[in-house]
Amino acid sequence: MDPSAPTAIAITLNGEPREVPAGITVRGLFDLLGISPEGLLIERNKVVVHRGDFQTECLQPGDQVEILRFIGGG
């Protein structure tokens, strides 16, 4: 591992600044927060991240991340 590589990056999560481990994936973010992705939608820089990409989509410094809950109604 490169000793000069950052160990944490700064993102904005639901409008609040937050540091997360460098190289964290969307799935890793859910794990870090202790929440299940079931029934949730995640946007990264105003683009929806598809569930199939949660394991591979890595967050980058400065990302704007929004976690939203599906609510049914009619």
Average pLDDT over residues 61-71: 92
Tokens 């190289």 label which residue? 23
- Residues of the domain holding 53: 8-68
Whole-model pTM: value is 0.86
- Whether 73 maps to a domain, the answer reads no
What pLDDT does residue 61 have?
Answer: 97
Residue 27, domain member (yes or no): yes
- Asked whether residue 61 is domain-assigned, the answer is yes
Domain holding 56: CATH number? 3.10.20.30
Closest CA to 41 of 54, 28, 31, 32: 54
Interatomic CA distance for residues 41 and 69, integer angstroms: 6
As a dihedral over the C-alpha atoms of residue 17, residue 23, residue 24, residue 25, rounded to 10 degrees, the angle is: 120
43 lies in some domain: yes
| pLDDT digits 0-9 by tens, 53-64 | 999 999 999 999
Give the 3-state secondary structure of residue 54.
coil
Residue 26 inside a domain? The answer is yes
Give pLDDT tens digits for 16-63.
999 999 999 999 999 999 999 999 999 999 999 999 999 999 999 999
Domains contained in the chain, number: 1
Residue 74 lies in a domain: no
User: Which residue, chain included where needed, has tokens 């160990």?
Assistant: 7
